[in-house]
Amino acid sequence: MSTFQASRGFLRLSRSTSKLQPPLNLHLRIASRNVATHTLPSQANAISVLPTIIDPSSEEYKENARQMGTVISRLEELTKKIQLGGSQKAREKHIARNKMLPRDRVAALVDPGTSFLELSALAGHEMYPEAEVPAGGIITGVGVIEGVTCVVVANDSTVKGGTYFPITVKKHLRAQAIAQENNLPCVYLVDSGGANLPNQADVFPDREHFGRIFYNQARMSSMGIPQISVVMGPCTAGGAYVPAMSDESIIVDGQGHIFLAGPPLVKAATGEVVSAEDLGGGKMHTSVSGVTDYLAVDDAHAIVLARRSISNLNWPKKQFPPPTAYEEPLYDPEELVGIASTNLRKPLPIHEIIARIVDGSVFSEFKRDYGSSLVTGFAHIYGHKVGIIANNGILFSTSSLKGAHFIELCCQRQIPLIFLQNISGFMVGTDAEREGIAKNGAKLVTAVACANVPKFTVVVGASNGAGNYGMCGRAYSPRFLWMWPNAKIGVMGSEQLTAVMEAVGKAADPELKERIDRESEAVFSSARLWDDGIIPPSHTRRVLGLSLIASLGGKNEPPSSTELRAISMLPASRTRAFARAITAVQARHLSTNPSTTPIASVLIANRGEIALRVGRTASELGVRCTTIYTDPDSNSQHALSSPFAVNLGAPNAYLDGERIIKVAKEQGCEALHPGYGFLSENSAFAKRCVEEGLVFIGPPWKAIEAMGNKSRSKEIMIAAGVPCIPGYHGKNQDPEYLLEESRKIGFPVMVKAVKGGGGKGMRIAFTEDEFLSKLESAKSEGRNSFGDDEMLVEKYISTPRHIEVQVFADKYGNAVALGERDCSLQRRHQKVLEEAPAPNLAEDIRQDLWEKARAAALAVKYEGAGTVEFIFDNDTNEFFFMEMNTRLQVEHPVTEEITGEDLVSWQFKVAAGEPLPLDQATITQRISERGWAIEARIYAENPSQNFMPDSGKLIHLRTPRTSDSVRIDAGFIQGDTVSSAYDGMIAKLIVSGPTREVALRKLHAALQDYEVVGLNTNIEFLKKICKSPAFIRGEVETGYIQKYNDELFAPEAVKPETFAQAALGILAKESLEKGADFPTGPHGLAIGFSARNERQFLFVESSDSESKLFSVTINQSGQKLYNVQVKGPGIDESYENVVCEGGAPSISTFYPHTRIESTIITDGDKFTIFQQGKQTQLRLTTPSWYEKALGLKDVTNSVLAPMPCKVLRNEVKEGDEVEKDQALVVWVTLDPKALLSG
């Protein structure tokens, strides 16, 4: 800082503090001197020293110490017993074989004077009624060997011969995980009989079972983590892989044996008689097989060799700083025994605990006066800088935000985090929910999950509910997790459980309460490896120190940066910049006359038809467009539509908001249009756009956030006077409670995910009996689709309609309704046809819908295009708010047709600050004059298979002729590929007419001209809808397809002329391509163009599951003149003197009774025929000898996947006998999960 700047800064400081009114002469003297006042480091340090009010002589302290002393004494006795290992007899037998006891081996292995940080000493305690398994039959921990911090895994053969119980496997894997995560060399002291056979089902086959040990060894080897094995006893079967997969192996002569099968099994299998030494002894393996590298005389020698191997690793030897580099706590850590309490209903003085853990009791507390129920701050432990997060009460929104902020700071500075848990959970209740506890709590949980610095957790009291997650419980991968003896862990305590049971009208079961108490104990937890061990409170500082050095002991790479997008509390500099941006936006929003700034460039953050649609309007407005695409979309139309196109790479990159924003800024775009789907309704993304200075062409992010939560949006609507369907939208997600609420509402009810959309996470329970199963199904889909299984329950209307209102609002507080759309025709809760206006709707109801929609928009200070969706009860003519889509809808073109307005253009204008182009009166007049519009979505899907999505290349694509009344919004052309990675909508066909009847006839006619080959589509189904009598009458409802299922899916017989046209088309195509002398193929059997000049074609309907065979015999009697005979089930027709003209792909044929024009598209042995407005798919059969001639396998019982999929699991194995309808294989498709049955 320059002198001038410093002076100005000081003068500002002087003015700001002038109200203190120091003596005038002192003030003038200080102000006149242009120097900084010196502060001693000791003074700065002193303000961070934690005081204490603990009185060891008080009765409360003594009582705590007495109770904790009793608990600690019991644990000491238990630990001593466990450390003995197996029975006295087993230990004596072990020693008699000249073998060191397992713990003696470990003690000899680690450096003298160093501490061995044992892991999970209580593992397996009282877990197996049939056997005692002290320490889980294996000793693991972190120790220093030749100055190198290592992980040690030592089998205890005195415990059931060192065999692996389930807990043994779990403990071994945990040790390997610590070695992997901290990059620590691993030493295996092998002395094991392999898997414990009586427990083989829980040891052998699963992912985290015995085989995972060797998987981890391979992965650790690939990571460059050294592994040393010392074989001191049996090493049989799969266990033989431990030394075989290590970098160096040592074997003890005469007692170490490595073989896949021991002598008895070898004799039984091969008849060979061989000794254990000759089969797999130390001499053989070190001199013949080379499996081991060093032969040791005995255990002690083996330990020396192991230490030598470690010394040759050239591995970092990181140590604690010298004692002069740090101070011990000012207060005795032994006092923690009286500070801790077995009564967890009493708060623990967390500052007192911290003061006895950190160096010099110095703690730089962060945000001390904000969110005080969570204590955060910086300190040192043995000279290592750490960040501490400690509970001082229940977690509120403020404390959650504070914690998330602090974690981000530590991640930026690469400071390890220590969590001191004593938490009963997050705050609940109305005030908490209104403060956003769910979201703010999620920010803390997200921060914990994403923190890429070493994390360590000590449970000093309770660890209940979601508080466990927010305070880095086991699921959040702390490097180590320790518990105090008084700690308890569980979803809730037994007392809370009793209160909950009583609240729902049920008496608490005393046995259940007792079990919950027992299962919450620290010993129960540690026995199951929910932690890494129970530690005395007074050892907390040292254990954390050893944990820290372990995390720093390997060749660690610098931690990667942590991205915590869900966290809103930012460092001060970023906070100020963010505040300026928000202030600017709010100022523009609140201004009565905001300036209009036309948009000159835009990035279209979407794909397919909507990207092209937005691009067309933008070009008309003179806006430069930048498009984005992914690898699957590299040749797509939207990627080719602009000279400014950027490849994002991976298929899911359309969801990478930060990357998209970066591209927009790099391309110099002023605005971003999200289209629909992907990130269009992501409030965080919209917010980030604003923060980065981009105009988000959509509503404000707060409006998106408010309307994105179904429960919250309904609260807003009710407050705005918008009717909502009766239901339960609360936070109590207990299934029985939801069932009771459903009873109050009255069945049938709909359960759906609060964060759901697109029909996912939604189920209908018609009766009380099926409610719980439907609820679980919806929750499962909610978790898989949205990462959230919170549900709401609403009254299910048996004959509902889906009516939505298009709204638009500007920055001036104006909002208009641009008419309604009926979207009732749906499959799987997703729209198929949309029309405007809604049929059979009284005018007064229509106007009321519009008014309520406008009220909804105004209630959330909406801007831009939005759609308010209502459910309309056909029986009562009542309507209820469902949700608001805060974006442009797929079906917006029907609104454009009935208003004559370009809604995308409106979006650009409103985003630029212009007022709405039309007022409500003008819009109403327009709609009354412009008739009707209907939109049909052309999807790649198979309606006959429950609308299963399809994908593939568009081999053939012919669209209807467009006009003023026929419009097509498409994202594909012929030759493009519809990818399974994205939604399968090929195009939207929009027609308009003066009346609904005319529009419907136009739609049917246009669909008859729509031809798609290469994948299944819903075009034929849409044609049936257009001809459905009830739909023509406008008797629509969301369950229309199910209600008229028999009519809509009634099989239609293929006309004989269709088979004839297929055969004639094949001939015409081959003649055109090959000429008259082309060789006959396998088809036609022995007939072909022989002396009789006949040819036979055998067809099967592609959609016919029974594979009925139809034959077409063609006898060419002259140029373009044929006699045709068609035979098959229910068909026997002959046509004489048929004239066929044309070639490929279209032919025109004159039959005696009619003329038929057909387009025949060939795809291998599949043929798609378009004629007289109908599509038919046929397959040409292949002669049986063809496969044999080519050496192909019989594929009679093979299965062809209906679409790209991933096999999830096989339900049977090769050789099994199966029955009809038995499940064979489960695969995952776009249709969440499909089951193949025999």
User: Which residues have a catalytic role annotated?
Assistant: 887
Pairing mode of beta strands 800-809, 864-873:
antiparallel
Joined together, the tokens standing for residue 114 give 């160093």
CB 192 within 8 A of CB 161: yes
Q: Is the dihedral of CA 472, 474, 479, 483 positive or negative?
A: positive
Task: Return the ∠ at Cα 1119 (arms to 1117 and 1123), rounded to 5°.
Answer: 35
Pairing mode of beta strands 455-464, 480-483:
parallel
State the residue for tokens 């969801």: 655
Displacement of CA 794 from its chain's centroid (Å): 26
Pairing mode of beta strands 1174-1180, 815-822:
unpaired
CA atoms within 13 A on the CB side of 697: 29
Task: Return the ∠ at Cα 1207 (arms to 1203 and 1211), rounded to 5°.
Answer: 120
CB-count exposure of residue 1038 (10 Å: 0-12, 13-18, 19+) = buried
In 3-state terms, what secondary structure has residue 813? coil
Say how many C-beta atoms besides its own lie within 10 A of residue 120's C-beta: 27
In 3-state terms, what secondary structure has residue 1114? strand
Say how many C-beta atoms besides its own lie within 10 A of residue 1172's C-beta: 12
CB 606 within 8 A of CB 581: no
- Residues 6 or more apart whose CB falls under 8 angstroms from that of 527 comprise 122, 123, 124, 125, 126, 127, 167
State the residue for tokens 């209600």: 1043
CA distance 742 to 214: 51
Strand (E) or helix (H) holding 283: helix 282-284
CB 473 within 8 A of CB 458: no
CA distance 708 to 1071: 60
Q: Is the dihedral of CA 971, 977, 983, 988 positive or negative?
A: positive
What Å distances lie between residue 411 and 357, 449, 451, 517, 558, CA to CA? 22, 12, 6, 37, 11
CA-only gyration radius of the chain, Å:
38
CB 486 within 8 A of CB 520: no
Query: Per-residue b/e over 832-866, b at no fewer than 16 CB within 10 Å?
Result: bbbbbbbbebeeebbeebbebbbbbbebbbbbbbb
CB 140 within 8 A of CB 174: yes
CA distance 178 to 138: 16
CB 227 within 8 A of CB 183: no
CA distance 1212 to 1218: 8
Provide the residue type at 69 as one letter.
G
CA distance 727 to 1096: 64
Q: Name the packing angle between helices 843-859 and 710-719 (round to 10°).
A: 110
- The DSSP letter of residue 653 is G
CB 195 within 8 A of CB 238: yes
What Å distances lie between residue 503 and 336, 430, 433, 492, 508, CA to CA? 37, 17, 20, 15, 10
Q: What are phi and psi of 1206, to 5 degrees?
A: -120, 125
Q: Of 729, 780, 1042, give the one whose Cα is nearest residue 882.
A: 729
